[in-house]
Amino acid sequence: MALELPFGLQRLMLGAGEAELEVEEAASKAHHAWVNLTSTMVNALYVRSGFWEHVLDALNSTIRMQRLGQAVAKVVVAALGPAIGLASISDVEALQDELTRLRSDFQDLSEKFEFQSRAASRMHRVS
């Protein structure tokens, strides 16, 4: 099979009658051989248990590093925040709670205003 393609090309160059068909068949065989070889190599890689263990270990290491980075960032902000004028964590949490309460109050007032507006428009229609 390894020599079919070069011999077919030589016969094609020399003008043999069925050389074109031989070259196509040889190229097709070579293509299928490479596809089968590649498929076998990829399957062997995935079947190995060590490959997936390595992938999972790398993923776990990445997640651990992200968590470590977040923890370091929190410590640095907590330690240096007041020195550079940042608000403390408790101040930020209190502000978030206040914003949540204000949003709720605004929504209640908005619903009350819409109810009153609808009631007033109905009263004007009747009279």
What is the DSSP secondary-structure string of 13-61? HHT-TTHHHHHHHHHHHHHHHHHHHHHHHHHHHHHSHHHHHHHHHHHHH
* Residues 23/8, Cβ–Cβ less than 8 Å: yes
Name the amino acid, one letter, at 75.
V
Q: 61-87 pLDDT, tens per residue?
A: 999 999 999 999 888 887 887 788 877
Q: 25-68 pLDDT, tens per residue?
A: 777 787 888 898 898 888 887 777 677 788 889 999 999 999 99
pTM of the complete model beyond 0.75: no
Burial of 19 (0-12, 13-18, 19+ CB in 10 A): middle
| H or E segment to which residue 113 belongs | helix 89-126
Rounded to whole angstroms, the Cα distance separating 90 from 102 reads: 18
